[in-house]
Amino acid sequence: MSLFLVALWVIGILLAGYLVVLYNGLVRLKHGVGKAWANIDVLLKQRHDELPKLVEACKQYMQHERQTLEQVISARNAVASARERGDIGALGRAEGGLRAGLGQLFALAENYPQLKANESFQFLSQRISGLENGIADRRELYNEAVNLNNVRIEQFPDLLVARLFAFKAAQLLQVSTAEKADVDLKALFG
């Protein structure tokens, strides 16, 4: 065997090893995005299960606030539908509506001292607030995983391997414009 053939073999083996390392890195990132989404999904499901209990506790006291209660349930259903479809964009929009509805519900609860004193309402509102904080934290981790994945599949030489094996960009979980807007306290308490 000539020295040239040995050099070609070594280069070929090194190149193949490098491609395997790139491929495995992309697979790890892809599954990191999936894991981050699964962590959000767990909290969304828990919150989904708690919201009807909160609305039921509120119904006993807030007879005149039916529209707010219906808005929360409608938004809950929109979040569940987007979650089941895996539609990240629709989920972000539905989350904004749900958070706005919950904010309005908690603000209106201030007008009902008996409701605020109700142990069930207190427990559920604290539980849902904790879940909201967890979702926000996990959304940040999910978006970081998505960003790492998307950057990697666009960088050279990973781009070549990503295209060869059809790795796709993932979608960030973004909050709606309504969720970013300031709360109109006059409208809530007026």
- pLDDT over 50 (residue 19): yes
Section 6-21 average pLDDT: 93
Q: What is the CATH number of the domain that holds 54?
A: 1.20.1440.20
Question: CA neighbours within 13 Å on the CB side: how many for 153?
Answer: 20
pLDDT in tens, 50-77: 888 888 888 777 777 778 888 888 999 9
Section 125-149 average pLDDT: 92
Overall number of domains in the chain: 1
Whole-number pLDDT of residue 170: 92
Q: Which of 80, 131, 81, 82 is nearest to 102 (CA)?
A: 131
pLDDT band at 185; cut points 50, 70, 90: very low
Whole-number pLDDT of residue 183: 45
DSSP string covering 81-130? HHHHHT-HHHHHHHHHHHHHHHHHHHHHHTT-HHHHH-HHHHHHHHHHHH
- pLDDT over 80 (residue 32): yes
Pick the more confident residue, 118 or 46.
Answer: 46
| Range(s) of the domain holding residue 158 | 3-189
- pLDDT over 90 (residue 141): yes
Section 34-39 average pLDDT: 93
pLDDT band at 165; cut points 50, 70, 90: very high
